[in-house]
Amino acid sequence: MAAVGITLQPEDAFLDLMGGVLREDADYFEVAPETLWAVGDDGRFRPNRYRARFLALGDETQRPFVAHGVGMSLGNAAPGDAPRRRRWLRQVAIEQRRFGFQWYSDHLGPTTVAGEAVTSPMPMPMTASSAALVRAQLAAMQRVVPDVGFENSVTYFLFGRFADEPAFFDRILGPAGIHLVLDLHNVHTMARNLGGDPDAYLAAIDLGGQREPAWLAAWWPHRAPRQPRQRRPRGGVAAVRGDRAALSGPARRDAGTHGGDRACGRRAADSRGAAPRAKGARR
């Protein structure tokens, strides 16, 4: 069965209203590390109260955590961004010691420009040098969390064609522990906004060879000691997976999706039916 992960939103109303679902239906929790702290005028990271609340929920339920960030600024080539990224990586390492993230993923594209955060990831040239830069930045994250990935983003324009993205992703993938988070909702949005064939796009994504599976959250080799609770598949997931099942390929190459509403969380499918394993990181 598919493991179900739910994103923890830094909002009291969400956490209160979703309390029963979080405790009864979630196999793991996803957090954006950037929601765990505030950055002062002096550049220091200060934990916020949601960090403590998320940790308490993890301790209570004994559910593992995964991280899906928004601040790595993947593909940002500006030399001035390097000090910011080093500070940010140090803070994620601090959170890793407490949360024990099973994996870390982030959105493809710069999210900081001239020191300012932007609303959505920016596109980058789909070149070999850009791919090498992204690989190097993900390798730096692997020193903090060994399993890392990048998500296909929604952008307002592209340097190239929508149909060129799968080949660009292929240039980034390859090194062990680097994976693609394939967001089907983002594929649909980009196809509608920029024009393109989403079926051809998905068919162009290579699921074969020695690479780890390239589907949303399914591609990490989960090692959980417990099985997720048996549940009926929810309509939205089954409907989206539908005729994509033929693309699932070898073991652990299973399709999955999450809806645009972050409260719906992420669904992960694993051929062995296991959720992310809990680590003894929360003390």
Q: What is the CATH number of the domain that holds 196?
A: 3.20.20.150
pLDDT confidence bin for 246, thresholds 50/70/90:
very low
Over residues 129-183, the pLDDT tens digits come to 999 999 999 999 999 999 999 999 999 999 999 999 999 999 999 888 999 998 9
Q: Is residue 147 part of a domain?
A: yes
Q: Is residue 280 part of a domain?
A: no
Q: Give the pLDDT confidence score for residue 268 in this predicted structure.
A: 33
Number of domains within the chain:
1
Element (H, E) at 141: helix 128-142
Q: Is residue 275 part of a domain?
A: no
**What is the pLDDT averaged over residues 88-94?**
96
Record the pTM.
0.76
Q: Is 243 helix (H, G, I), strand (E, B) or coil?
A: helix
Q: Give the pLDDT confidence score for residue 116 in this predicted structure.
A: 86
Element (H, E) at 172: helix 165-172
Distance in angstroms (rounded) separating the CA atoms of residues 111 and 119: 7
Q: Is residue 102 part of a domain?
A: yes
Average pLDDT score, the chain = 78
Name the nearest CA neighbour of 170 among 220, 214, 140, 111: 214
Helices marked H in the chain — which ranges? 12-17, 19-24, 49-61, 82-99, 128-142, 165-172, 184-194, 198-203, 235-241
Q: Is residue 148 part of a domain?
A: yes
Helical pair 49-61 and 82-99, crossing angle rounded to 10 deg = 30
Q: Is residue 282 part of a domain?
A: no
The domain in which residue 155 lies consists of 3-268
Distance in angstroms (rounded) separating the CA atoms of residues 67 and 7: 9
pLDDT confidence bin for 244, thresholds 50/70/90:
very low
pLDDT tops 90 at residue 96: yes
**What is the percent of the chain where pLDDT is above 90?**
62
Contact in structure between 127 and 77 (CB atoms under 8 Å): no
Question: Considering only 3-17, 124-138, 248-262, which range has the smallest mean pLDDT?
Answer: 248-262
Q: Give the pLDDT confidence score for residue 114 in this predicted structure.
A: 85
* Sequence letter at residue 79: P
Q: Is residue 277 part of a domain?
A: no
Name the nearest CA neighbour of 149 among 91, 77, 221: 221
Over residues 8-17, the pLDDT tens digits come to 999 999 999 9
- Of 183 and 227, which is predicted with more confidence? 183
Q: Is residue 278 part of a domain?
A: no
